[in-house]
Amino acid sequence: MVLLGLLVIAKSEVYIVTIEGEPVISYKGGVNGFEATAVESDEKLDVTSDLVTSYSRHLEQRHDTLLETLFDDGSYKKLYSYKHLINGFAVHVSPEQAETLRRTPGVKSVDRDWKVRKLTTHTPEFLGLPTGVWPTGGGFDRAGEEIVIGFVDSGIFPHHPSFENQNTEPYGPLPKYRGKCEVDPDTKRSFCNGKIVGAQHFAAAATAAGAFNPSVDFASPLDGDGHGSHTAAIAAGNNGIPVQVQGYEFGKASGMAPRARIAVYKALYRNFGGFVADVVAAIDQAVYDGVDILNLSVGPNSPPATTKTTFLNPFDATLLSAVKAGVFVAQASGNGGPLAKTIVSYSPWIASVAAAVDDRRYKNHLMLGNGKILAGTGLSSATSPNQKYTLVAANDVLLDSSVVKFSPSDCQRPEVLNGNMVKGNILLCGYSFNFVSGSASIKKVAETAKSLGAIGFVLAVENASPGTKFDPVPVGLPGILITDVSNSMELIDYYNVSTLRDWTGRVKSFKAIGSIGDGLEPILHKSAPMVALFSARGPNIKDYKFQDADLLKPDILAPGSLIWASWSPNGTDEANYVGENFAMISGTSMAAPHIAGIAALIKQKHPRWSPAAIKSALMTTSNTLDRAERPILAQQYSGSETMTFAPATPFDYGSGHVNPRAALDPGLVFDAGYEDYLGFLCTTPGIDSHEIGNYTHRPCNYTLGHPYNLNYPSITVSHLVGTQTVTRTVTNVNEEETYTISARMAPAIAIETSPPAMTVGPGASQKFTVTLTVRSTPGTYSFGEVLLKGSRGHKVRMPVVAMGYDR
């Protein structure tokens, strides 16, 4: 391990430590000289309070005193004090010192730090925002007004037009937000401009681990990756920004809430992702600063093995306290699909977002001299109409003098190819593993072809692993990627048959010809949305033995495939967009900020709603039918490498695809708060009550009975034996309305609701029950739904999942 100037022994690692005593958010008094600072559920911290300041200082002094008492000066380095959401600190110590901490009275938990990773537009129109949502709040130039969205990500490129403080409607001051703005160390300019209201970076754990390199990672909020700028623009980028790449315009981009403010908390970096200790510090600071919404396009590399349950670790415990402070949290659900149990966002207080393919698809084609037309993808203009050009393979135009120690067919090095043989022709290249690893790029193929005078290029995929994504890439000359292996084989066979060679294999004459179509115009499909192949799937897990949880995840589906948004010219996350101002990329990282931005619109309209109420509105109004009124499909893989489509289930999309217009007026909500989430933890089998106390400082005296009784907008019973009755409570957020309650389930399970109907007054709450009874032989899982249909037109839909059932 490389240690950057730290006076610690070589085996030192970062640990996150929690200690006795409540953090600011839940301190109810009792410490001599310090009055209570606790907030009620969904209430913001008053950061201006002297009580908060003095108690925060007291906690930090306790952290310092503990370390000074136990260890010699210079044998450790404290990286952060966590005071607001959890009580503890991050420290760089040896494993032996960590063990000393574990045995010390008053220390509640010691967790070794672990890595996180990034979970890497036309969508406002696809979601109906310009016509159905923005007008209700005064138009796009008011959509998200006064709402602050915090982004824990890779930073931001503040000079991008998506983040400008536009002169026509300049932003005024925002007293409720008190975050800091760092200054660019090179230009001495602030990262904030009114649109961006806060910008800070967190890298102490990354530095201690020897992973942080200031020359490439930037010791500032500057985005050296691209990912952070992209997610911020999806949620809150300015409206109507022209998307211009490689000389083409691909429409205009807008965030979901284009008038919302942006607060940047950089804790992810281009080469290594990030560390939980830095991410927790960023979240703690964001809540203290006063953000309304928190977007996390980040998740663990794998479930952290240091804790027994997925719901209790420093990361999820910090987010629980954030939600207690009234902050809505959207998190990417993960990119491990289509395999089951690949979700990396587990907890009920978080909105876990799956990724959808929207209705826009880019296609292109290659027409060969033998009349065959091969489908592919490529964001480029066509070759000249009614004209075909000679195809020359890179391997056949190598310079005699070149000594090639790598694959020349991937066309990354123009200097090893004979320009005289390439000029005026179409260059044929091969898609190698280098493109998957990131050491080769389509952008570089285009640059090679252009520098050699080629008319265009073809990149053929000769073999591909299931799950490989082939996103279209804009290029400055005609170009196409043939993604289907069988089509690539047809192309290669045609080329070989048409190319004349001598006895040594050297080409005597190139006779294969072809032309490239126009790939710039998107095709709009009605079979949208559909669940993206890479989107992580349920069922959710409650522990690291992958046992099923009584909680459905993901929660909701949002666009996450081929999303155009701003990019940092410094960004290296996508080799094909280095130096560009925009990028089109895919991932649940792109889906989460859609939900964060839409949540900001709901928060703007209903400022007193809790995070649970906002999530309920999003979930219960979502769609399970596509634009053709057919059940939403999920991209899958069959036994071969062929992509197939199967009817999606709640394990794929949770409650369904987000419907922003309906979410603004859901009729009823399933509300929940901090006490309810503690009840969920305390009734989940296998969770030690002492472990819960270590993170929450609260005893287990809650009466949920079973975790599936958490007042959640879905129902999941992980082990249904015989008959189980589940309780839910709805709260009316509109006028008085009478609702009829119906339910349906697969034949293996009988489902009944009680009462059959109820009238709920404005602001009133009512309970109802759902009874599930196994009536067949044992099975693995069964799906259904409960529908509450209101007399004033509201529809509240809730998915039901029964797993591991037996009579």
Which tens digits make up the pLDDT trace of 237-263?
Answer: 988 888 888 877 778 888 999 999 999
Provide, rounded to the nearest whole percent, the portion of the chain with pLDDT above 90.
59
* 576 DSSP assignment: G
**Per-residue confidence (pLDDT) for residue 378, from 0 to 100:** 83
pTM of the model: 0.89
* CA 781 vs CA 338, 619, 652, 686, 775: distances in Å: 17, 21, 14, 22, 13
Strand partners, 557: 354, 657
**Per-residue confidence (pLDDT) for residue 710, from 0 to 100:** 97
135 has a pLDDT exceeding 80: no
Provide mean pLDDT across the span 593-619.
96
803 has a pLDDT exceeding 60: yes
Contact 569, 218 (CB under 8 A): no
pLDDT in tens, 346-404: 999 999 999 998 866 778 899 999 999 998 888 788 898 889 999 999 999 998 655 55
Looking at 287-301, 415-429, 585-599, which range is the least confident one? 287-301
**Per-residue confidence (pLDDT) for residue 133, from 0 to 100:** 60
For residue 105, give every residue at least 6 positions away whose Cβ sits within 8 Å of its Cβ, in sequence order, or none: none
DSSP symbols for 298-313: EEESS--TTSSBTT-S
Residue 535: helix, strand or coil by DSSP? coil
Tokens standing for residue 749? 């399970």
As a whole number of angstroms, the distance between CA 680 and CA 685 comes to 10
What is the residue-averaged pLDDT of the chain? 88
To which H or E segment does residue 669 belong? Answer: strand 668-669
Instruction: Count Cβ neighbours within 10 Å for each residue of 307-342 and write b for 16 or more, e otherwise.
Output: bbbbbbbbbbbbbbbbbbbbbbbbbbbbbbbbeebb
Give the pLDDT band (50/70/90) at residue 10. very low
pLDDT in tens, 19-44: 999 999 989 888 888 988 888 766 77
Could you give the maximum distance between any two Cα atoms of the chain, in Å? Answer: 94
**Per-residue confidence (pLDDT) for residue 114, from 0 to 100:** 83
As a whole number of angstroms, the distance between CA 128 and CA 406 comes to 49
pLDDT in tens, 105-133: 999 999 888 887 765 544 555 555 556 66
pLDDT in tens, 744-765: 999 999 999 999 999 999 999 9
| φ/ψ of residue 92, rounded to 5 | -100, 110
Q: Which residues are catalytic?
A: 153, 227, 589
520 has a pLDDT exceeding 80: no
Cβ atoms < 10 Å from Cβ of 407:
17
**Per-residue confidence (pLDDT) for residue 497, from 0 to 100:** 92
**Per-residue confidence (pLDDT) for residue 113, from 0 to 100:** 86
Tokens standing for residue 92? 């760089």
Provide mean pLDDT across the span 442-469.
85
3 has a pLDDT exceeding 50: no
pLDDT in tens, 310-340: 898 889 999 999 999 999 999 999 888 888 9
Provide mean pLDDT across the span 205-232.
91
| Length of the chain counted residue by residue | 807
Provide mean pLDDT across the span 668-676.
95
pLDDT in tens, 693-710: 888 888 887 778 899 999
Tokens standing for residue 633? 């499909």
Give the pLDDT band (50/70/90) at residue 437. confident
DSSP symbols for 747-772: TTEEEEEESSEEEE-TT-EEEEEEEE
As a whole number of angstroms, the distance between CA 359 and CA 626 comes to 10
For residue 533, give every residue at least 6 positions away whose Cβ sits within 8 Å of its Cβ, in sequence order, or none: 337, 338, 467, 469, 635, 636, 637, 643
**Per-residue confidence (pLDDT) for residue 119, from 0 to 100:** 58
**Per-residue confidence (pLDDT) for residue 169, from 0 to 100:** 75
pLDDT in tens, 617-641: 999 999 999 988 999 999 887 655 5
Inter-axis angle of helices 314-324 and 689-696, to 10 degrees?
60
Looking at 120-124, 178-182, 568-572, 771-775, which range is the least confident one? 120-124
Provide mean pLDDT across the span 649-672.
96
**Per-residue confidence (pLDDT) for residue 571, from 0 to 100:** 76
User: Which one, of 294, 43, 341, lies nearest residue 150 by Cα?
Assistant: 294
User: Which one, of 697, 59, 613, lies nearest residue 321 by Cα?
Assistant: 697
* CA 356 vs CA 330, 531, 536, 561, 624: distances in Å: 16, 4, 11, 6, 12
